[in-house]
């Protein structure tokens, strides 16, 4: 009946939005943006699975027999067993609660258009086919299709693509992304558990038991010992009990047999291992490293493959002006004289403008601006007309210059682009801007900009190389640019790069071992790469700071997030570098190796 009703939903009038009756109709069918919280394993299951193990059952049986014969002083070993069990339960519940807090939608409210009026409502109250009104700074709460207007959207947290994307009528907006500029109306077509961001969240919340090779080894020892311990214990009891072939009474036989059997069970090793790791956690806390998973210290010490995200790990998220190539000598229009005035005129700030301000500074006096064109991803340039001087523009050369003028310097531009640089043209004209259109511009200088490599990244990468750790870079950005940045940071074989855009899962898996740098990678592909590396016997550590990294972080043997990154990345990671300092990594690895040695 439900499915039939769903097919008969009354169509939405995009001019007026849903009516009150249509909203109620959808709520009755459960077609709202509400999503159930919590991971895939309950606390009850965690407690049950930690208590009812072969190791614990064996110890409980021995303790029960000792209590039965009144040997209360001999059951102290149960304290160690209890401590081991409690540590395991606490660690798993802590991991579960951290994952349960994971939420990729931060906006508490959204604006909907219903009955020709705007309403601000809780995002969980949004229903299928609602018309959302999206404004700059707003997070998109459901997957939508634009019905009116044009917006620029920042999808970097979801896809890793650093540039804003222009969206027109008919284009899809992904939930979890942010509106940078513009205003639009958009119809919610996927809500709740069907939305893109909730699919990411659902995959990230799949419960995974903490990994530890030490604990696995100890459990294998217990299982092997367990095969022999029961028949050996029974034989000992038979040879000691006077009801068998021995001459000891029942209570003495139980105590003697229990003492021998308990000595065969390495229960103390479990506790000592946990205590050694706990000391490691305290030592790392002194080095600004938050350990969210006890056993990850050990796993990081065994890592042989490190997967890095570009932004926030190798680069610090800022840009630097590398050099200025003057194409025309004109003291009156020199970049160092005009660009400070241009930067003072523009109030919006981005990575490029911050780099230009760092290089040229701001004007000490208010510029006399007559016309201004702010930057947008559609135009690819910004421009300003100054009284008595003319018009000045900075942006992508092919969008600022005429085809003829661009052709004259195209080879020079392409040569710099091959070096992984971002090229801006500084162009001038003695005429003014009219009707938001540039006059014919003359190329004055090329401004070469590059990503800023973190000062600690090169030394840290060198440390991993000397310890035979294979370093790979996985990014949502252009693979050629990422490869150049990787080479500058000292990563070996950085020239082996590939774009994963449009590749099938099979092709992505096949590329995991062949290449060193991966570009245009979406969240699912990042996870596939990590999974394939693990399938080939690698112990993989993954660093990340965005929502687009969470699936790969969850899949990795050890995951490391920067405190300056997204809350979602911090919640799913085993380790959080509280000072966001990549150079802390060698200390973490050394601490793990100290523990397991």
Please state, as a whole number, how many other Cβ atoms lie within 10 Å of the Cβ of residue 537.
8
Tokens 């001019």 belong to residue:
15
User: Do residues 118 and 99 touch, judged by C-beta distance below 8 A?
Assistant: no
Identify any residues that bridge with 371 across adjacent strands, giving them in sequence order. 385
Give CA–CA dist 102/227, Å, rounded: 42
Alpha-helix residue ranges (DSSP H) falling in 205-266:
213-240, 250-264
Give CA–CA dist 500/476, Å, rounded: 9
Tokens 């709740």 belong to residue:
192
Complete DSSP assignment for 575-590:
EEETT--GGGHHHHHH
State the Cα torsion 556-163-461-321 to the nearest 10°. -170
Do β-strands 497-499 and 178-190 pair in parallel, antiparallel, or remain unpaired? Answer: unpaired
User: Do residues 201 and 207 touch, judged by C-beta distance below 8 A?
Assistant: no
Complete DSSP assignment for 413-457:
HHHHHTTT-EEEEEEEESSPPBTTB----EEEEEEEEEEEEPTTH
Give CA–CA dist 201/525, Å, rounded: 16
Backbone angles phi, psi at 236, to 5 degrees: -60, -45
Give CA–CA dist 158/418, Å, rounded: 27
C-alpha to C-alpha distances, 30 to 192, 197, 199, nearest whole angstrom: 10, 19, 18
Do β-strands 517-519 and 497-499 pair in parallel, antiparallel, or remain unpaired? Answer: parallel
Do β-strands 117-122 and 390-395 pair in parallel, antiparallel, or remain unpaired? Answer: unpaired
Do β-strands 517-519 and 470-474 pair in parallel, antiparallel, or remain unpaired? Answer: parallel
Please state, as a whole number, how many other Cβ atoms lie within 10 Å of the Cβ of residue 528.
23
Q: What value, to the nearest 5°, has the Cα angle with vertex 93 and ends 539 and 526?
A: 35
Give CA–CA dist 301/590, Å, rounded: 7
413: left (phi over 0), alpha (psi -120 to 50) or beta: alpha
- HSE-up of 251 (CA within 13 Å, CB side)? 7
Catalytic-residue membership of 309: yes
Tokens 């409502």 belong to residue:
121
Of 309, 451, 470, 545, which residue is the catalytic one? 309
Query: Helices then strands (H, E): number in the chain?
Result: 22, 21
Q: Which residues are catalytic?
A: 309
């Amino acid at each position: 009946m439900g499915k039939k009703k769903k097919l008969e939903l009354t169509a939405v009038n995009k001019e007026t939005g849903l009516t009150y009756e249509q909203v109620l109709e959808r709520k009755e069918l459960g077609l709202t943006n509400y999503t159930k919280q919590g991971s895939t394993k309950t606390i009850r299951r965690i407690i049950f699975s930690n208590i009812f193990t072969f190791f614990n059952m064996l110890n409980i049986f021995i303790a029960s027999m000792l209590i039965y014969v009144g040997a209360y002083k001999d059951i102290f070993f149960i304290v160690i067993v209890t401590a081991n069990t409690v540590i395991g339960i606490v660690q798993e519940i802590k991991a579960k609660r951290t994952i349960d807090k994971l939420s990729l939608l931060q906006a508490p409210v959204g604006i909907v258009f219903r009955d020709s009026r705007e309403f601000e409502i809780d995002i969980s109250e949004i229903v299928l086919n609602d018309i959302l009104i999206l404004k700059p700074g707003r997070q998109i709460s459901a997957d939508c299709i634009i019905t009116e207007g044009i917006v620029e959207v920042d999808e970097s947290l979801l896809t890793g693509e650093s540039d804003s994307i222009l969206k027109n009528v008919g284009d899809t907006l992904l939930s979890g992304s942010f509106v940078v500029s513009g205003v639009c109306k958009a119809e919610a077509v996927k809500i709740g558990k069907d939305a893109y961001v909730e699919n990411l969240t659902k995959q990230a919340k799949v419960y995974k038991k903490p990994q530890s090779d030490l604990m696995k080894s100890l459990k294998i020892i217990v299982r092997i010992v367990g095969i022999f311990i029961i028949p050996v214990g029974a034989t000992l009891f038979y040879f000691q009990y006077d009801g068998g072939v021995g001459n000891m009474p029942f209570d003495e036989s139980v105590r003697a047999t229990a003492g021998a059997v308990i000595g065969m069970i390495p229960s103390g090793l479990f506790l000592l291992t946990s205590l050694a790791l706990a000391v490691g956690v305290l030592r790392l806390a002194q080095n600004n490293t938050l350990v969210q998973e006890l056993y990850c210290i050990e796993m990081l010490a065994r890592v042989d493959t490190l997967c890095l995200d570009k932004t926030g790990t190798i680069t610090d998220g800022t840009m630097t002006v590398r050099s200025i190539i003057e194409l025309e000598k004109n003291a009156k229009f020199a970049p160092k004289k005009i660009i400070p005035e241009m930067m003072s005129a523009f109030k919006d700030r981005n990575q490029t403008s911050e780099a230009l301000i760092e290089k040229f500074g701001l004007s000490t006096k208010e510029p006399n601006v007559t016309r201004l064109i702010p930057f947008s991803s559609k135009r690819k340039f910004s421009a300003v007309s100054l009284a008595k001087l003319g018009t000045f523009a900075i942006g992508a050369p092919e969008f600022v210059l005429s085809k003829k003028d661009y052709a004259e310097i195209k080879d020079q531009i392409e040569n710099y682009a091959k070096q992984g640089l971002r090229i801006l043209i500084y162009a001038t004209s003695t005429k003014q801007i009219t009707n938001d259109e540039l006059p014919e511009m003359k190329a004055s200088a090329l401004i070469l900009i590059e990503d800023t490599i973190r000062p600690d990244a090169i030394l840290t990468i060198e440390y991993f190389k000397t310890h035979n750790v294979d370093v790979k870079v996985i990014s949502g950005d252009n693979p050629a640019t990422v490869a150049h940045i990787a080479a500058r940071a000292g990563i070996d074989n950085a020239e082996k790069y590939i774009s994963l855009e449009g590749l099938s899962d099979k092709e992505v898996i096949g590329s995991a071992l062949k290449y060193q740098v991966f570009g245009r990678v979406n969240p699912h592909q990042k996870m596939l790469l990590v999974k394939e590396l693990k399938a080939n016997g690698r112990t993989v550590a993954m660093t990340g700071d965005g929502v687009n990294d969470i699936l790969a972080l969850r899949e990795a043997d050890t995951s490391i997030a920067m405190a300056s990154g997204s809350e979602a990345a911090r919640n799913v990671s085993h380790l959080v570098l509280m000072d966001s300092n990549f150079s802390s990594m060698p200390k973490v690895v050394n601490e793990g190796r100290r523990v397991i040695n």
